[in-house]
């Protein structure tokens, strides 16, 4: 039975990509509770994903170590004053479970992970090993009879971000071209395809499609993007420093985005931009770019695919994946995009 609620909290901590995928629950919550206040609790790096989301009334940021004891105390005092009626813990680690219990909400929904179930009075069987992460998140709604009418994640694009990126594209002489965003970084060392292979792929795109390739990067990643640009034989472009909103705006102006399994990959897919994700240690069926018009490529036939290792002694999945194989995946996406069909 759907709980009564005037104030709803969604909790999803940590990575940008995970938070992007969790946004699929928001329009369904809004439709189920049109007059309720909907809040979202996450961490600082992921907060921009929600800041301009039309179905979020307030974004709460969990205090980091830099806030100190006084900052943390202020956060928890304010948190207790909110008096939520319904809380969804979509993360399910000890801290998010504690926050769910601390909320005192009459309805507390979470996944029945061992040692954390005590925090919830509505428990959901976790299917993260069987379904895409988007469906995993939506299972929390199904557990309380909220109809799932929308399943697509969403990352809003701001007017300010678009203005900044349109100005840069115009100044760079590439506005209106066939633009391809390429993101060479990934949070795990094992998820990073070789920079030289990225450069080979860029050359193929320039030569065969006259693409304007744009190397995108986030904090601490500029050197890797520059290395990819230097390795490419054809002229390419290095994106300027961008906020997450500006990165989303830049992707929205691209015809295609190619990226390792990463937050930017999920941002691009959530924007509806045709996206090609490069996969190895993570499972492309469970964490791939979600929605129609995208593809996840990998080195087929390897027994170790989807190992979930952060580091690897041989990294066969990435070292044996060629630029030609990824380009074949790109061509399929472009072909289906031009015909108007899905993936």
Domain definitions of the chain by residue range: 7-142, 159-339
Matching fold, domains 7-142 and 159-339: yes
Q: Tell me the pLDDT tens digit for each residue of 6-16.
A: 999 999 998 99
DSSP string, 125-167: ---TTTS-HHHHHHHHHHTTT-------------HHHHHHHHH
Kindly report the pTM of this predicted structure.
0.95
Provide mean pLDDT across the span 299-310: 91
Candidate CATH numbers 3.40.50.2000, 3.10.150.10, 3.30.565.10, 3.40.50.10490; the one for domain 7-142: 3.40.50.2000
Domain covering 159-339 in this structure, CATH number: 3.40.50.2000
Q: What band does 341 get if pLDDT is binned at 50, 70 and 90?
A: low
pLDDT in tens, 20-68: 999 999 999 999 999 999 999 999 999 999 999 999 999 999 998 766 7
Distances (CA, A) of 140 to 2, 15, 28, 143: 12, 19, 11, 5
256-260: strand order across its sheet? 237-238, 212-216, 179-183, 256-260, 275-278, 295-297
**Mean pLDDT of all residues in 253-266:** 97
Res 343 pLDDT > 60? no
Token code pair at residue 9: 């909290």
Q: How many CB atoms lie within 10 A of CB 339?
A: 8
- 89: pLDDT strictly greater than 50: yes
Kindly calculate the radius of gyration of the chain based on its CA atoms and give it in whole angstroms: 21
**Best-predicted range by mean pLDDT among 186-190, 277-281, 303-307?**
277-281
Read off the pLDDT band of 69 (50, 70, 90).
Answer: confident
Interior/surface letters 36-56, b for 16+ CB within 10 angstroms, e for the rest: bbbbbbbbebbbbbbebbebb
Q: To 5 degrees, how large is the angle CA 246–CA 268–CA 133? A: 125
User: For residue 338, is pLDDT > 80?
Assistant: no
């Amino acid at each position: 039975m759907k709980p009564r609620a005037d104030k709803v909290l969604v909790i999803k901590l940590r990575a940008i990509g995970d938070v992007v995928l969790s946004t699929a629950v928001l329009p369904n919550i809004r439709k189920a509770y049109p007059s309720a206040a909907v809040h979202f609790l996450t961490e600082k790096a992921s907060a921009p994903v929600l800041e301009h989301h039309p179905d979020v009334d307030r974004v709460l940021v969990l205090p980091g170590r830099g806030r100190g004891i006084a900052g943390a105390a202020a956060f928890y005092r304010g948190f207790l004053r909110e008096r939520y009626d319904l809380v969804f813990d979509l993360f399910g680690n000890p801290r998010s479970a504690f926050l769910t219990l601390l909320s005192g909400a009459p309805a507390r929904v979470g996944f029945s992970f061992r040692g954390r179930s005590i925090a919830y009075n509505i428990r959901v069987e976790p299917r993260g090993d069987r379904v895409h992460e988007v469906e995993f998140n939506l299972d929390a709604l199904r557990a309380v009879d909220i109809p799932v009418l929308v399943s697509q994640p969403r990352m809003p694009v701001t007017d300010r971000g678009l203005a900044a990126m349109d100005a840069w594209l115009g100044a760079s002489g590439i506005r209106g071209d066939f633009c391809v965003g390429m993101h060479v970084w990934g949070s795990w060392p094992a998820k990073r395809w070789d920079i030289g292979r990225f450069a080979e792929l860029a050359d193929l795109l320039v030569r065969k499609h006259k693409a304007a390739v744009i190397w995108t990067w986030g904090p601490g990643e500029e050197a890797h993007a520059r290395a990819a640009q230097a390795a490419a034989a054809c002229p390419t472009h290095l994106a300027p420093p961008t906020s997450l909103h500006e990165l989303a705006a830049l992707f929205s102006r691209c015809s295609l985005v190619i990226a390792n399994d990463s937050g930017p990959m999920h941002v691009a897919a959530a924007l509806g931009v045709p996206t090609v994700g490069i996969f190895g240690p993570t499972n492309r069926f469970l964490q791939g770019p979600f929605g129609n018009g995208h593809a996840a490529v990998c080195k087929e036939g390897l027994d170790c695919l989807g190992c979930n290792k952060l580091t690897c002694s041989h990294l066969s999945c990435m070292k044996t994946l060629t630029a030609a194989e990824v380009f074949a995946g790109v061509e399929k996406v472009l072909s289906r995009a031009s015909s108007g069909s899905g993936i």
